[in-house]
């Protein structure tokens, strides 16, 4: 029964009452779950073979590792020297990639100019270019008789080949594209309304880039920097071609592994284990919560927006 002044329908449900309406059965989600559980054997067999093929060399490395003498091998002077040099040059290459790679990624993602598609293809070319070819190209460009290196030597007395700086240059050449690809993808998927709002509030382009754009893509920058650092740490072909192999100057960990295989196999295995541990740590970091939102950005989704506030003088807070 309803009161005379009550105009609501007798079958209406009050706002505070729980929803007791029957729900329709939707087979979509259940079907998706069943599809995930029941994988065909035609996929299991080649998938297992592929996994075994990729994991077997790693298992062999772990089984044959000289675990009892591993601390002594890692602390040897030559091994420690190569390890420290690799860490220093990989960090320097990552820093250069951040300084120059982020602006290039922004230009490729946010501007339009003739030849942009060609430039994007050329920038990502080191991802698929054989490292030895990259080293030869660096020699022809930055060597003592290169088109630029000759001028650097004549005018400023700067020589890059066969020096530690040459190692950094070679590592930057092969590793920077990883950072550019990650940051450009994040910029393309990020919400541009926050940058438009900052410009409306009177922020200049540099302030907008520094206070709004960079925080928006920070997870992708961190992920790209980690990939860049790991790639630089493991670089071999371009380094030995452009910088040579001089102990204490250009002998990085991959080069030390290559040389140790001829004289000291245990030392080569120890160095390989160190490189393996570093690469695994980087991959775990990318998939864990050390870089919040990195997986969403790498999958092409937008990161969580950073709020834009106005300061007391009308600037960005």
Range ranked top by mean pLDDT from 58-72, 160-174, 283-297: 160-174
The predicted-structure confidence for 247-267, as pLDDT tens digits, reads as follows 888 989 899 888 888 887 888
Q: What is the DSSP letter of 146?
A: S
Q: Give the pLDDT of residue 18.
A: 53
- According to the per-residue pLDDT averaged within each range, which of 18-22, 53-57, 308-312 is highest? 53-57
Q: List residues bridging with 316 in a β-sheet.
A: 310
Report which of residues 286 and 113 the model is more confident about: 113
- Tell me the average pLDDT across 132-151: 90
Helix spans in the chain (H): 27-37, 41-63, 70-74, 77-110, 116-123, 131-142, 149-151, 164-189, 193-200, 205-208, 214-216, 218-233, 237-242, 253-263, 265-287, 294-298
The residue that leads in pLDDT, 118 or 265, is 118
Weakest-pLDDT range from 133-137, 197-201, 240-244: 197-201
pLDDT band per the 50, 70, 90 thresholds, residue 290: very low
Cβ-proximal residues to 278 (8 Å cutoff; 6+ apart), any chain:
230, 233
- pLDDT of 300 higher than 70: no
User: What is the C-alpha separation between 152 and 158, in angstroms, rounded?
Assistant: 5
* 168 has a pLDDT exceeding 70: yes
- The mean pLDDT of 15-19, rounded to a whole number, is 53
Question: What integer best gives the mean pLDDT of the chain?
Answer: 80
Alpha carbon distance 97, 103 (integer Å) = 10
pTM for the whole structure:
0.73
Residue 293: pLDDT above 80?
no
Q: Is the pLDDT of residue 34 over 60?
A: no
For residues 43 and 306, which has the higher predicted lDDT (pLDDT)? 43
User: Which domains are seen in the chain, by residue range?
Assistant: 88-248 (1.10.3720.10)
What is the token pair recorded at 287? 């998939």
At residue 38, does pLDDT exceed 80?
A: no
């Amino acid at each position: 029964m309803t009161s005379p002044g009550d105009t609501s329908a007798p079958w209406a449900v009050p706002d505070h009452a729980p929803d007791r309406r029957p729900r329709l059965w939707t087979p979509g989600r259940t079907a998706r779950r069943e599809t995930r559980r029941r994988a065909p054997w035609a996929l299991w067999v080649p998938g297992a073979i592929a996994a075994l093929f990729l994991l077997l060399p790693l298992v062999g490395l772990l089984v044959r590792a000289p675990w009892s003498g591993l601390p002594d091998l890692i602390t040897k002077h030559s091994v420690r020297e190569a390890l420290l040099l690799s860490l220093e040059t990989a960090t320097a290459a990552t820093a250069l990639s951040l300084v120059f790679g982020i602006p290039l990624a922004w230009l490729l993602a946010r501007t339009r100019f003739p030849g942009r598609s060609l430039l994007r293809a050329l920038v990502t070319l080191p991802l698929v270019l054989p490292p030895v070819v990259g080293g030869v190209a660096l020699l022809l460009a930055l060597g003592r008789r290169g088109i630029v290196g000759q001028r650097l030597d004549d005018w400023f007395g700067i020589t890059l080949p066969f020096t530690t700086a040459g190692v950094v240059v070679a590592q930057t050449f092969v590793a920077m594209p990883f950072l550019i690809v990650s940051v450009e993808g994040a910029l393309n998927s990020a919400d541009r309304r926050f940058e438009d709002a900052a410009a409306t509030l009177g922020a200049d382009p540099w302030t907008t880039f520094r206070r709004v754009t960079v925080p928006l893509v920070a997870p992708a920058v961190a992920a790209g920097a980690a990939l860049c650092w790991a790639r630089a740490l493991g670089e071999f072909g371009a380094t030995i071609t452009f910088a040579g192999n001089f102990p204490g100057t250009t002998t990085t960990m991959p080069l030390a592994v290559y040389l140790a295989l001829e004289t000291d196999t245990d030392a080569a295995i120890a160095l390989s284990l160190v490189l393996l541990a570093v690469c695994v740590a980087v991959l775990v970091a990318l998939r864990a919560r050390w870089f919040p939102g990195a997986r969403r950005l790498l999958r092409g989704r937008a990161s969580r927006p950073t709020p834009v506030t106005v300061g007391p003088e009308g600037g960005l807070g």
